[in-house]
């Protein structure tokens, strides 16, 4: 167990390699109850959400989820999160554990819309069922029509008799579901899923596999690829910035940076030398420092050592050869397209 | 669990002596703490290593860990099989996954401060008790 922002979290159960492979080929179950939840309700709830986020929440249908950024005035990230539209007047946010209180305070500080806000983390447990067998497993435990649920859509229904918000979302690059429910039922839901999923190859997975899976999928981790100093353009998250949606915090800075061009960019890289780059390693090109590794890991599943790095824009083109400082070595790597892994549809 | 034919360091290496030749590896406790090992970087034959100083690294998916030499000496052989099968460190840390063989002067004197199997077992039991909560 490791201490992760005050939560005792299992890094691994049977081993990161086995857990990672299970999610790619069958299914894995993650206890992600550390994630925070924030509820925003009221006639003008949408206006508050639009004010503090970069994506366009007005495009959401009821029962739809959206990946978005909680922006600061610099166009960088207070946090990144999943926004769920429960009704025209009710939005449900799943935010990073370590940012939960800061996010809540930040949202409240912009609440000139009379919205009712709740820092609801303690009221929810969250389990992530991920992998190609997820639907088959979940269907055994719920009468809800989860098979008809499209990606980034959610519904409500009982799972193992426990009322859940069931979202077809995840952080692994696979198909899967994230379940939100009242914490007193945690063991019941966890146990039922593992029992009914065992025949499909479902195993419990820890934070270690969650990290290698999201890295292969090219997904950002707060504190690594994004933080309060890294803008949406720099993090390659332009697709969650909707400049045409109207005014929002950070819009001005983002417009300025868009016009001038970002000086650094997040890239994916693959090691050419047999060494493993790790978080915070220095990146070099043409004999000088050009950036740093934001996440680096072996990918046993893809049989290569991969990572993401924030580098000077001039060295960010796919195919660029870079060097990474690993202990006493300067190891060769090459910029490659993201994501490293994309599931077959 | 821990063989009686060798001695152990607080950094979780073991050394097995045969005259002035020491075979060095990492312990079962260490491999378990690391998880799936994916890479090892070891000194080549002819390299001088120093007691308590780093002589290489072992990497798992989640972490990098230094290997500290239990003795001062000169590497005479490196376990080449680990380059292609580093996972042997997980499956057989006290046997097939030895790391290096080192020529050691005053082998007995150099290793008498290290733990025997019983002392090492007690040492890690204490650590595990401390970690439980």
| pLDDT tens digits along B9-19 | 999 999 999 99
Structural domain count, chain A: 3
| Shared domain check, A158 and A25 | yes
A12 touches chain B (CB under 8 A): yes
Burial class (CB in 10 A: 0-12, 13-18, 19+), A16: buried
Judge residue A64's burial from the number of C-beta atoms within 10 Å of its C-beta, 0-12 exposed, 13-18 middle, 19 or more buried.
Answer: middle
> With an 8 Å Cβ cutoff, is B61 touching chain A?
yes
- Residue B130 is predicted with a pLDDT of 67
Q: Is A240 among the domain residues?
A: no
Eight-state DSSP code of residue B10: T
Residue at A135 is within a domain: yes
pTM, to two decimals? 0.94
Query: Is residue B20 in some structural domain?
Result: yes
Percentage of residues in chain A with pLDDT exceeding 70?
98
Q: How far is CA A237 from CA A48, A80, A265, A317, B109, in A?
A: 21, 10, 10, 16, 61
**pLDDT band at A234; cut points 50, 70, 90:** very high
Assigned token pair, A130: 């991920």
Residue A5 has a pLDDT of 60
Residues pairing with B65 in the sheet = B58
Report the 10 Å Cβ neighbour count for A55.
23
In a domain, A84, yes or no: yes
Whole-angstrom distance, CA of residue A227 vs CA of residue A221: 9
Say how many domains are in chain B.
1
A17 touching B, CB under 8 A?
A: yes
Q: Which residue of B has its CA nearest to A212?
A: B61
CB-nearest partner of B59 from A12, A18, A276: A276
A and B: number of Cβ contacts within 8 A:
38
- For residues A100 and A81, the answer to whether their CB atoms sit within 8 Å is no
Q: Do the Cβ atoms of A297 and B61 come within 8 Å?
A: yes
Q: A125-143 pLDDT, tens per residue?
A: 999 999 999 999 999 999 9
Top residue of B61, B86, B89, B90 to mutate, by most chain A CBs within 10 Å, is B61
- A286 and A310 assigned to the same domain: yes
Interface check for A302 against chain B (CB to CB < 8 A): the answer is no
DSSP code for A272: S
Q: Tell me the per-residue pLDDT of A165-219, one tens digit each, with 9 for 90 and over.
A: 999 999 999 999 999 999 999 999 999 999 999 999 999 999 999 999 999 999 9
In a domain, residue A169? The reply is yes
Distance CA B114, CA B112 (A): 5
Say yes or no: A275 contacts chain B, CB-CB below 8 A. Answer: yes
| A42 assigned to some structural domain | yes
Q: Same structural domain for residues A141 and A288?
A: no
Q: Which two tokens stand for residue A161?
A: 């008799």
What's residue B133's pLDDT? Answer: 45
The whole domain housing A13 covers 2-33+124-216
Residue B127: inside a domain, yes or no?
Answer: yes
Domain containing B113 equals 7-131
* CA pair distance A331, A120, nearest whole angstrom: 46
pLDDT of residue A94: 98
Question: What CATH number does residue A176 fall under?
Answer: 3.30.1360.120
State whether A8 and B64 contact (CB < 8 Å): no
Task: Look up tokens 């999928």; give the residue.
Answer: A217
Question: A231 lies in a domain?
Answer: no
* Boundary residue ending a domain (A90, A107, A122): A122
CATH at A321 = 2.40.30.110
Contact between chains at A275 and B36 (C-beta distance less than 8 A): no
Share of chain A above pLDDT 90, in %: 96
Residues A63 and A131 in one domain: no
- The burial class, CB within 10 Å (0-12 / 13-18 / 19+), for B76 is middle
Domain assignment present for A245: no
- φ, ψ of residue A123 in degrees (nearest 5): -90, 0
pLDDT of A4 above 90: no
In a domain, B11, yes or no: yes
**Residues A135 and A10 both lie in one domain:** yes
Q: Do both A156 and A76 map to the same domain?
A: no
In a domain, B1, yes or no: no
Rounded Cα gap, residues A168 and A157, in angstroms: 13
- Write down the pLDDT at residue A144: 98
B35·A278 Cβ contact <8 A = no
Smallest Cβ distance to A16: which of B61, B64, B133?
B61
Chain A partners of B38 at a C-beta cutoff of 8 Å?
276, 298, 300
Of the pLDDT bands very low, low, confident and very high (cuts 50, 70, 90), residue A11 is: confident
pLDDT digits 0-9 by tens, B68-112: 999 999 999 999 999 999 999 999 999 999 999 999 999 999 999
Last residue of a domain, one of A104, A122, A140: A122
Q: Share the mean pLDDT of chain B.
A: 94
Q: To the nearest whole angstrom, how far is the Cα of A333 from the nearest Cα of chain B?
A: 17
Residues A76/A229, Cβ–Cβ less than 8 Å: yes
Quick one: chain B helix, strand, coil %, rounded to 5?
Answer: 25, 35, 40
Instruction: Look at B39 and A275 and tell me if their CB atoms are within 8 Å.
Output: yes
The CATH number of residue B68's host domain is 2.40.50.100
Q: How confident is the model over A233-242, as a mean pLDDT?
A: 98
Nearest chain A residue to B59, by CA: A276
Q: How far is CA A298 from CA A17, A172, A208, B83, in A?
A: 10, 16, 12, 15
Looking at chain A, which residue has its C-alpha nearest residue B128?
A1
* Predicted complex ipTM: 0.86
Residue at A128 is within a domain: yes
Last residue of a domain, one of A216, A240, A271: A216
B35/A11 CB distance under 8 A: yes
Q: What is the pLDDT of residue A3?
A: 66
- Is A207 found in the same domain as A146? yes
- A300 interfacial to chain B (CB closer than 8 Å): yes
Mind listing the pLDDT tens digit for each residue in A250-265? 999 999 999 999 999 9
pLDDT at A6: 67
State the pLDDT at residue A22: 98
Question: Which residue of B36, B43, B63 to mutate against A (max A Cβ within 10 Å)?
Answer: B36
Establish if B107 belongs to a structural domain: yes
DSSP A149: P
pLDDT in the model for residue A344: 86
Which of A40, A36, A47, A29 has the alpha carbon at shortest distance from A7? A36
Q: Do B38 and A208 touch (CB under 8 A)?
A: no
* Residues A176 and A187 grouped into a single domain: yes
Residues A29 and A129 both lie in one domain = yes
Q: Are residues A128 and A204 in the same domain?
A: yes
């Amino acid at each position: 167990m490791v201490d992760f922002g005050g939560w005792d979290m299992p890094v691994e159960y049977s081993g990161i390699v086995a857990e990672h492979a299970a999610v790619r080929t069958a299914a894995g179950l993650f206890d992600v109850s550390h994630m925070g939840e924030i509820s925003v309700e009221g006639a003008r709830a949408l206006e508050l959400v639009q004010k503090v986020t970069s994506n366009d929440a007005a495009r959401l249908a009821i029962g739809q989820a959206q990946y978005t950024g909680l922006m600061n005035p610099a166009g960088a990230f207070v946090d990144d999160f999943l926004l769920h539209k429960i009704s025209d007047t009710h939005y449900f946010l799943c935010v990073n554990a370590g940012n939960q209180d800061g996010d809540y305070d930040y949202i409240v500080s912009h609440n000139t819309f009379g919205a009712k806000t709740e820092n609801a983390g303690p009221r929810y447990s969250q389990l992530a069922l991920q992998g190609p067998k997820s639907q088959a497993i979940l269907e055994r435990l719920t009468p809800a029509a989860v098979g008809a649920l499209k990606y980034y859509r959610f519904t409500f229904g009982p799972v193992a008799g426990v009322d859940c918000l069931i979202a077809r979302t995840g952080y692994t690059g696979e198909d899967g579901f994230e379940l939100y429910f009242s914490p007193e039922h945690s063991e019941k839901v966890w146990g039922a899923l593992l029992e009914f999923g065992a025949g499909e190859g479902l195993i419990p997975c820890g934070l270690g596999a969650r990290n290698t899976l999201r890295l292969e999928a090219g997904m950002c981790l707060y504190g690594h690829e994004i933080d309060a100093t890294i803008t949406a353009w720099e993090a390659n998250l332009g697709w969650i910035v909707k400049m045409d949606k109207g005014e929002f915090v950070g819009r001005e800075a983002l417009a300025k940076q868009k016009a001038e061009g970002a000086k650094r960019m997040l890239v994916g890289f693959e090691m050419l030398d047999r060494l493993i780059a790790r978080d915070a390693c220095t990146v070099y090109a043409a004999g000088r420092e050009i950036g740093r590794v934001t996440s680096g890991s072996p990918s046993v599943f893809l049989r290569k050592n991969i990572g993401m790095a924030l580098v000077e824009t001039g060295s960010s083109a796919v195919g660029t050869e870079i060097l990474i400082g690993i202990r006493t070595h300067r190891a060769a790597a090459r910029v490659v397209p993201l994501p490293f892994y994309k599931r077959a549809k | 669990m821990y063989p009686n034919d060798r001695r152990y360091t607080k950094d979780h290496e073991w050394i097995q002596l045969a005259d002035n030749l020491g075979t060095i590896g990492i312990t079962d406790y260490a491999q378990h703490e690391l998880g799936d090992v994916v890479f090892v970087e070891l000194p080549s034959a002819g390299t001088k290593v120093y007691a308590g100083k780093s002589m290489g690294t072992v990497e798992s998916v989640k972490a990098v860990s230094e290997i500290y030499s239990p003795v001062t000496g000169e590497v005479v052989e490196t376990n080449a099989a680990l380059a292609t099968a580093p996972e042997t460190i997980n499956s057989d840390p006290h046997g097939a996954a030895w790391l290096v063989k080192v020529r050691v002067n005053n082998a007995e004197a150099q290793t008498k401060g290290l733990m025997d199997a019983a002392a090492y077992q007690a040492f890690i039991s204490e650590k595990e008790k401390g970690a439980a909560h």
